[in-house]
Amino acid sequence: MAVQAAPTEVGIDLANWNWKVVRQFIAERCGIRLCRSACTRYLHRLGFACKRPKKRLLKADDETRAAFVAEYVALLAEAQVTGAKSFFADEAHFRADGDLRGKWVLKGQPALVDSTCPRRGERASYYSAICLETGEVEHMELTGTSSSATSAAFLKQLCANHPGPLIVIWDNGPAHGGDAVREYLATPDLALRLVRLPAYSPDFNPDEAIWAWAREEVTANTCLGTKAAVQERMQRFFAGLPGRASEVKSRCRRKLQALAEALAGPSPESHQEAPYVDPISASV
In the chain, where the domains are located: 2-45, 62-266
d(CA 181, CA 176): 7
Give the pLDDT mean for 155-161: 97
Whether 232 shows a pLDDT value over 90: the answer reads yes
Give the pLDDT mean for 224-233: 96
Whether 214 shows a pLDDT value over 70: the answer reads yes
pTM score: 0.83
- pLDDT value for 107: 87
CATH architecture designation of domain 62-266: 2-Layer Sandwich (3.30)
Whether 73 shows a pLDDT value over 80: the answer reads yes
Give the pLDDT mean for 257-264: 93
- pLDDT value for 268: 47
- pLDDT value for 49: 87
DSSP states along 213-270: HHIIIIIBT----SHHHHHHHHHHHHHHGGGGHHHHHHHT--HHHHHHHHHH---TT-
Q: What are phi and psi of 50, to 5 degrees?
A: -85, 120
How does pLDDT run across 194-213, given as a tens digit for each residue? Answer: 999 999 999 999 999 999 99
Confidence of residue 271 (pLDDT cuts 50, 70, 90): very low
- pLDDT value for 284: 43
CA dihedral (71, 255, 152, 155) positive or negative: negative
CA dihedral 265, 271, 274, 278 (to 10 degrees): -120
